[in-house]
Amino acid sequence: MTGGPPIELIDLRKSYKLGPVELDILKGVSLTVEDGEMLAIMGASGSGKSTMMNIIGLLDRPTSGTFRFEGRDVALLSDDVLAGIRNRRMGFVFQQFNLMARATALDNVCLPLLYRGMSLGDARKKAEGFLEKVGMKERMRHLPVELSGGQQQRVAIARALIGEPGIILADEPTGALDTKVGREVLDIFGGLNKDDGITVVIITHDPSVARQCGRAVLMRDGVLADEAVPA
């Protein structure tokens, strides 16, 4: 790891061309996420928060501005280097779980390690430990269709963790869950942040989710708003 905070955005802008029209999505976002922080980025649909998450997750590049990841200017890094950072430094959790339907929970969690070249046997052994960490050891041989929404999200969190990333990026991780299960999932994130020191960034439209994070910022119309996150 090099010097500097995990995430530093300076006057970040992103636009897309739709025929003759240029659509501005991010309009000058500056944000620093410190090591070990648990941050919520809150905003309504269309506010730009998911676009910003894609850039933070190195899935897209900004039109202009500076993004430094752990002190390195992302604009100077090749696609291969960025792919390596995604695989080794970041874990991703999504609203829709994105599990492979024909693979067991165990084999879904193995995937990031298989991409790194680890043998299936070694990856499965390590995956068992992470499934136990999120309370899914007894269900590791089940297919996603045999699991509840909350259980599938726990599997998705274990998959995000198995590469031992320094940062977890979660895009509406409770959006498809009921209130009770969503709270349990957030408790897992809170434990990872507090006990393991993992930096957690959560995209959400839900004020109750934002309140459970150490800090929350509000996106509105492509910029970080000055007003406080709604209670």
Q: Is position 1 within any domain?
A: no
Q: Is residue 37, in this structure, part of any structural domain at all?
A: yes
| 130 assigned to some structural domain | yes
The answer as to whether 2 is a domain residue is no
Does any domain span residue 206? yes
Question: Residue 230: what pLDDT?
Answer: 64
Number of domains within the chain = 1
Q: Where are the alpha helices (DSSP H) in the chain?
A: 49-56, 79-89, 105-115, 120-133, 149-161, 179-196, 207-211
Provide the token pair at 137: 């050891």
Q: Which domain holds residue 209?
A: 7-227
Backbone Cα Rg of the chain: 18
Note whether 8 and 56 are within 8 A (CB): no
Q: What's the mean pLDDT in 54-65?
A: 94
Residue 109 sits in a domain of what CATH number?
A: 3.40.50.300
Residue 176: inside a domain, yes or no? yes
pLDDT tens across 146-201, in order?
A: 999 999 999 999 999 998 899 999 998 888 888 888 888 899 999 999 999 999 99
* Packed helices 105-115 and 149-161: angle between N→C axes, nearest 10 degrees: 20
CA pair distance 48, 41, nearest whole angstrom: 10
- Residue 14 inside a domain? The answer is yes
